[in-house]
C-alpha cells in the first residue's frame, strides 16, 4: 500500500489500516527506526533511521512533516470508513482482495521499474509470515468493523504500539522499564474499558479488534526484523502476496459482481491506500520520527468526526475514557523512547 518515495531500494517498508490504521498506529521510535492498523490495510512505517532528518531539522521542514502526518491520519480513517461502507454489501475477502491486488500491482510496477532483482528476498519465509500477519490484521479489522462502533474500533486498534513494547521483551529480547510496563497495563485497561466484558451483549467476537491490534504489533516486529536483511521495496512487494492469494481463492465461491459505483469505491479504496502511504513517507522524510509520529493519534479525532457524520454514532463516555488511556500510554512510550 505504500510506495517508495526515495531512491533506489529506499521506500517505505509499508504501513497496515482497518488494517492500515494498524500500522501508522503510532509505533514507538525504536520500531519506527525499523519499520509499518490499521487493521484493514496494514501499513509499515518507513525506516526512520534511513529517511528521518536530524533533530535539528528546520522549523519549516518540521511543520511540513506534521502537515503530511495530519493528512495521512485523515486518509487512513477515510480508508477504514470506506471499508465499513463496502462491508454492508460485500464479503470481507472480496474487499481485501481488491485492496491487496491494487497494492500488488503498484508494488510490482515499482520493483520492475527500480530493479527486478528486488523481488528476491534473503528471508522469504519471514516475508511471507509478515505478509500473512498483514492479512490477519485486515480480516480481523473488517470483522471488528462489522460488529462495533467505528470509534471503538479505531481506539482499540491504536493499542498496537503498546503491545509492541510488551512483545519486544519476548521476541526481540529487549528490556522494558517499569514505566514502559505501566504504559502497557494502562493501554490494556483502556481496551478493557471500551470492550467492557460485563455488558449483557458482550461476545467473544468483541475480541476481534484486540486481535487486529495484536497481529499489528507482531507485524511491526517482523518488519523490524527484516529491516537489516531486505530493502524496503522488497518488503513492500511481499506485503500483499498472502492477501492476494488467500482472498483471491475465495472469489469464485463468495465473490459478488460489484455495481459500477461499488467497483469505483473499491478502486477508491486502493487509491486511498497508495496515497496515504505516500503522505506517510513524505511526513517521515520531512521531519524526525519522534516529532511526527505522535501526531498519528489525531486519527482518533477524525474517527470521532466520521462516526458522527457518516455513521451517525455518538461515542460513549466509556469509549472516550478508554481511548484516553490508550493515547496516554502510547504517548508515554514515545516520550520515553525519545529520551533514550
Q: What's the pLDDT score for residue 84?
A: 92
Cβ pair 223, 130 in contact under 8 A: yes
Length of the chain counted residue by residue? 340
Residue at 39 is within a domain? yes
User: Within its chain, how far is the Cα of 13 from the centroid?
Assistant: 12
Number of domains the chain is built from? 1
| 11 found inside a domain | no
Provide the grid cell at 180. Answer: 514502559
Q: What is the pLDDT of residues 103-134, one digit of tens each?
A: 899 889 988 998 999 899 999 999 999 999 98
**Strand extents, DSSP E, the chain:** 18-20, 38-40
Report the candidate in 312, 309, 317, 27 with the shortest Cα–Cα distance to residue 194: 317
Q: Which three cell numbers stand for residue 94?
A: 472480496
pLDDT in tens, 141-172: 999 888 888 888 888 877 777 777 777 777 76
| Residue numbers of the domain that contains 313 | 18-339
C-alpha distances in angstroms, 200 versus 42, 192, 195, 321? 32, 15, 12, 20
Distance CA 98, CA 100 (A): 6
- Would residue 9 count as lying in a domain? no
The reply to whether 239 falls in a domain is: yes
Decide if 4 is inside a domain. no
Average pLDDT over residues 321-340: 74
The answer to the question of residue 70 being in a domain is yes
pLDDT of the residue at 197: 66
Question: Is 159 inside any structural domain?
Answer: yes
pLDDT at position 113 is: 92
Q: Is 173 exposed, middle or buried (0-12, 13-18, 19+ CB in 10 A)?
A: exposed
Please answer whether residues 137 and 239 qualify as being in contact, where contact means their C-beta atoms are separated by less than 8 angstroms: no
Give the confidence band of 264 by pLDDT, cuts at 50, 70, 90: very high
Residue 275 lies in a domain: yes
Amino acid at each position: 500500500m505504500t510506495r517508495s518515495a526515495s531512491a533506489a531500494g529506499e521506500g517505505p517498508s509499508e504501513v497496515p489500516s482497518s488494517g492500515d490504521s494498524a500500522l501508522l498506529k503510532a509505533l514507538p521510535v525504536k520500531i519506527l527506526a525499523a519499520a509499518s492498523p490499521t487493521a484493514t490495510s496494514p501499513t509499515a512505517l518507513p525506516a526512520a533511521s534511513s529517511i528521518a532528518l536530524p533533530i535539528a531539522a528546520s522549523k519549516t521542514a518540521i511543520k511540513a512533516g506534521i502537515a503530511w502526518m495530519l493528512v495521512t491520519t485523515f486518509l487512513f480513517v477515510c480508508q477504514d470508513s470506506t471499508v465499513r461502507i463496502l462491508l454492508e454489501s460485500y464479503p470481507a475477502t472480496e474487499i481485501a482482495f481488491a485492496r491487496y491486488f491494487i497494492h500488488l500491482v503498484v508494488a510490482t510496477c515499482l520493483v520492475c521499474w527500480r530493479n527486478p532483482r528486488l523481488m528476491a528476498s534473503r528471508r522469504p519465509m519471514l516475508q511471507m509470515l509478515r505478509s500473512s500477519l498483514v492479512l490477519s490484521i485486515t480480516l480481523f479489522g473488517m470483522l471488528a468493523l462489522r460488529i462495533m462502533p467505528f470509534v471503538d474500533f479505531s481506539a482499540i486498534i491504536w493499542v498496537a504500539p503498546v503491545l509492541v513494547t510488551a512483545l519486544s521483551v519476548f521476541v526481540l529480547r529487549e528490556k522494558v522499564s517499569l514505566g514502559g510496563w505501566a504504559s502497557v497495563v494502562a493501554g490494556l485497561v483502556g481496551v478493557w474499558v471500551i470492550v467492557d466484558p460485563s455488558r449483557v451483549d458482550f461476545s467473544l467476537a468483541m475480541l476481534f479488534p484486540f486481535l487486529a491490534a495484536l497481529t499489528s504489533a507482531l507485524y511491526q516486529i517482523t518488519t523490524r526484523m527484516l529491516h537489516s536483511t531486505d530493502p524496503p521495496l522488497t518488503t513492500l512487494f511481499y506485503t500483499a502476496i498472502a492477501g492476494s492469494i488467500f482472498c483471491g481463492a475465495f472469489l469464485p465461491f463468495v465473490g459478488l459482481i460489484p455495481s459500477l459505483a461499488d467497483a469505483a469505491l473499491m478502486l477508491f479504496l486502493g487509491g486511498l491506500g497508495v496515497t496515504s502511504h505516500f503522505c506517510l513517507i513524505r511526513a517521515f522524510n520531512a521531519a524526525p520520527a519522534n516529532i511526527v509520529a505522535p501526531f498519528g493519534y489525531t486519527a482518533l479525532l477524525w474517527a470521532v468526526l466520521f462516526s458522527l457524520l457518516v455513521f451517525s454514532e455518538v461515542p460513549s463516555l466509556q469509549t472516550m475514557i478508554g481511548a484516553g488511556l490508550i493515547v496516554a500510554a502510547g504517548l508515554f512510550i514515545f516520550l520515553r523512547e525519545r529520551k533514550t
